[in-house]
Chain A
């Protein structure tokens, strides 16, 4: 059934810019404060209050725009978007409309469909267009549940009113729910890289609405689109889209037509619900905001912001594959977080063994961090400690097995690897004469096995090797033990 239809998805992402104060007044943007405690006449919408634009919000929007290959307009203006809602005290939202901050962007990113277990089938690169990124203020928050009179009243908290947002509108370029998922993940990662948004969907500083429609494959015309809201996590976005695609196909297959409407995702019931019973056409009556001058961004300002941008996740992933010979998945996982990618690069350089660095970071270290609930930047383990440990493995000073213990201890205490190895009773024994001594003793004290071996039961080699390593307290280098034992047995 799916094959008959093509899915068309466009996404609108609202990213909270992480300024300390609001966009048009000096109230704090801190999350979780007492209701209405971060308010003033401007963000309460009191008569006569005038907005003054926060310069840092513009800088952050510029960083985000350039990271998404958008062209920043030399001059853009604010507009009033008029509508009534209790959490919008002015009766209009200050947003941008016909002359937005930036336009004509794109990203080219890896994307893949997933199997039932959630594993990527086959990664490929795809380019998605970004129509615009504009700046606007957030509205307040309405609470519908959990308070004394919630059954008959709604409660409004205006702490969020006036928090700066970047609205990032994509082209209708997504053809599956997973493409949309990969794009939002990439968007989040990029915003974190350029340090303009905390990217936490649960706290609402990254929010996503989706427009979705279906059309018969090969058709040029778009189908009727449905707007999805209340997508509060990355997985919700993907699940809600999947549900909505199935629903629309079922409607069309039954001979009906999809209605243009807004639907809300209900996670508990894993379905979407129509938000409005009667369809009211939106008429926002946008007009230029007379209280604010245009935003002017000079050419040299753009150049300065561009120059200060860090390497972005996708170019970095490509470079990790080319420069360090990493596998696609490993590189993708490492760049997921800027601090992890930085840690990897330091370790790769200092240890001279990028593949080992990637393996240790993605496996053992990731496990350690997860079990102790620490971020890589908070861990006592520093990249030079890990580099030292990898060099010790490569020189044969410690075995891989010992290294795991060393790593655990480094994560706990932050002590240098060599010191920990000394504390553990020394490193791996690779000294041949020392191993030969132990091996001779072991062979001597197992005459029966020796006879059997010499009679042709060569599989007993493993027994002798095991005994020697055991006698050495697990420290003898297995490769050398193997050679020496064989030599003695076959003498």
Chain B
């Protein structure tokens, strides 16, 4: 299934990316070739095979990757906001969110 230029424009908008006309064109080509490569998987007959969303390692019928409900200290306010461009009073400060 080929990807169109308007598909790329829509994805870019959803990802909040601004693309030039040239970029849109070259990404359309690149994404198209990636997709047709992956398309090859569709040739496998999966009739009767349950969809898999995750590769389980051990016992099928157990939740072996659960955490106990125990609180541990986080990294703290200081460290949390240390890399933020404009923190204030322990908050992340961002441009005004309109229509909140």
Contact = CB atoms under 8 A, between A and B. Distances in A.
A295 interface: yes
A153 B76 CA distance: 23
A157 interface: yes
B69 interface: yes
A38 B65 contact: no
Interface stretch (B19-27, B31-39, B40-48, B85-93): B85-93
B17 to A, nearest CB: 11
Interface in A33-90: 34-41, 43-44, 52-58, 77, 82, 84-86
Contacts of A53: 63, 65-67
Interface of A: 19-21, 25-28, 34-41, 43-44, 52-58, 77, 82, 84-86, 142-144, 147-149, 151-158, 275-277, 283, 285, 288, 290, 292-296, 298
A290 B92 CA distance: 28
A86 B74 contact: no
B80 A158 contact: yes
Nearest to A298: B61
A154 B96 CA distance: 5
A77 B53 contact: yes
Given A27-B74, A294-B53, A296-B63, A153 B93 contact: yes
Contact of B67 (A55, A151, A152): A55
13 contacts: A19-B69, A21-B70, A26-B70, A36-B90, A44-B75, A52-B66, A58-B66, A153-B94, A155-B91, A156-B93, A158-B92, A293-B63, A296-B61
B12 to A, nearest CB: 13
Contacts of A149: 88, 93
A171 B18 CA distance: 40
Contacts, number: 144
Given A44-B80, A285-B14, 15 more contacts: A36-B77, A41-B75, A43-B74, A44-B75, A54-B69, A77-B54, A142-B100, A144-B96, A147-B88, A153-B94, A154-B93, A155-B88, A155-B93, A294-B53, A296-B63
Contact of A37 (B60, B63, B69, B90): B90
A26 B67 contact: yes
B63 A34 contact: no
Contact of B54 (A36, A43, A142, A292): A292
A376 B63 CA distance: 39
Nearest to B57: A293
A55 B64 CA distance: 10
Contacts of B89: 35, 147-148, 155
B93 A21 contact: no
B71 A21 contact: yes
A280 to B, nearest CB: 10
Contact of A144 (B16, B71, B75, B97): B97
Given A55-B66, A154-B95, A154-B97, A35 B71 contact: no
A155 B92 contact: yes
A152 B70 CA distance: 39
A325 to B, nearest CB: 43
Contacts of A19: 69
A143 B91 contact: yes
Nearest to A157: B91
Nearest to A287: B53
